[in-house]
């Protein structure tokens, strides 16, 4: 799989623009500013792109699949609680309405954050990308990463693209991670559409 630097830069720009759009909506809903704190893109054999050994804090995550790809949006448990509290504040006058509903909030917020990026990628590739409903998972990032890779349908070449995007809201305070995985078929289709 060949992914020229120019294509990687365009992919990063599309993802960043999509994330900024989704986070602007999340800022409105939560009443606290959200922003991208970092974005990295890597490609190669899928086994080389996986996270290392298990451990670390538990996360609440929403996972989406699409033809040739996977999106994972994960928040550490403390951030998931802060996000749920802020999210439900706009829909209920009960101060504890969010309790026990972190998975629901994470699923809704993940939808809000991921969809603009998916739409931009689809427009760039001149295709309609169908995104699944979110599946909610709990675990450390290594387990969630393994789950996401388990949902990615690889071609015989075993190659993949991984984008990792950090998101943060210092006021809540809360942070999260968005991971996008693509197999080589989708990556090559995008590369061709982007002029590689």
| Stated pTM of the model | 0.93
Which pLDDT value is given to residue 196? 58
- For the chain, percent helix, then strand, then coil, each to nearest 5? 45, 25, 30
Question: Using CA of residue 13, residue 18, residue 20, residue 21, what is the dihedral sign?
Answer: positive
Task: Report in angstroms the alpha-carbon separations of 57 from 76, 81, 121.
Answer: 7, 14, 31
Which pLDDT value is given to residue 93? 65
Which pLDDT value is given to residue 69? 96
Phi, psi for 166 (deg, rounded to 5): -90, 140
H-helix segments, 152-194: 184-193
Which pLDDT value is given to residue 53? 65
H-helix segments, 31-140: 77-89, 102-125
CA distance 77 to 57: 8
| CATH number, domain 5-193 | 3.40.1550.10
Task: Report in angstroms the alpha-carbon separations of 107 from 3, 89, 115, 188.
Answer: 31, 16, 12, 29
The CA angle 122-127-188, to the nearest 5 degrees, is: 80
Which pLDDT value is given to residue 98? 66
pLDDT in tens, the chain (196 residues): 778 898 999 999 999 999 999 999 999 988 899 999 999 999 999 999 998 666 789 999 999 999 999 999 999 999 999 988 888 776 666 667 667 788 999 999 999 999 999 999 999 888 888 999 999 999 999 999 999 999 999 999 999 999 999 999 999 999 999 999 999 999 999 989 887 5
Which pLDDT value is given to residue 124? 87
Determine the 3-state secondary structure of 92 from DSSP. Answer: coil
């Amino acid at each position: 799989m060949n992914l020229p630097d120019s294509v990687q830069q365009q992919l990063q720009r599309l993802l960043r623009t999509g994330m900024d759009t989704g986070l602007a909506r999340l800022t409105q809903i939560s009443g606290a500013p959200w922003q991208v704190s970092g974005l990295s893109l890597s490609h190669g054999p899928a086994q080389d792109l996986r996270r290392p050994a298990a451990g670390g804090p538990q996360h609440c995550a929403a996972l989406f699949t699409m033809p040739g790809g996977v999106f994972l949006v994960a928040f550490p448990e403390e951030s998931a609680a802060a996000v749920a509290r802020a999210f439900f504040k706009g829909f209920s006058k009960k101060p504890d309405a969010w309790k026990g509903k972190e998975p629901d909030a994470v699923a809704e917020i993940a939808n809000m954050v991921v969809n603009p990026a998916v739409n931009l990628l689809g427009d760039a590739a001149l295709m309609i990308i169908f995104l699944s409903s979110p599946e909610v998972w709990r675990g450390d990032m290594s387990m969630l990463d393994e789950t996401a890779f388990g949902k990615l349908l690889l071609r015989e070449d075993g190659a993949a693209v991984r984008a990792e995007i950090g998101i943060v809201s210092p006021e809540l305070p809360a942070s999260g991670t968005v991971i996008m995985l693509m197999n080589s078929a989708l990556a090559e289709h995008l590369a061709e559409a982007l002029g590689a």
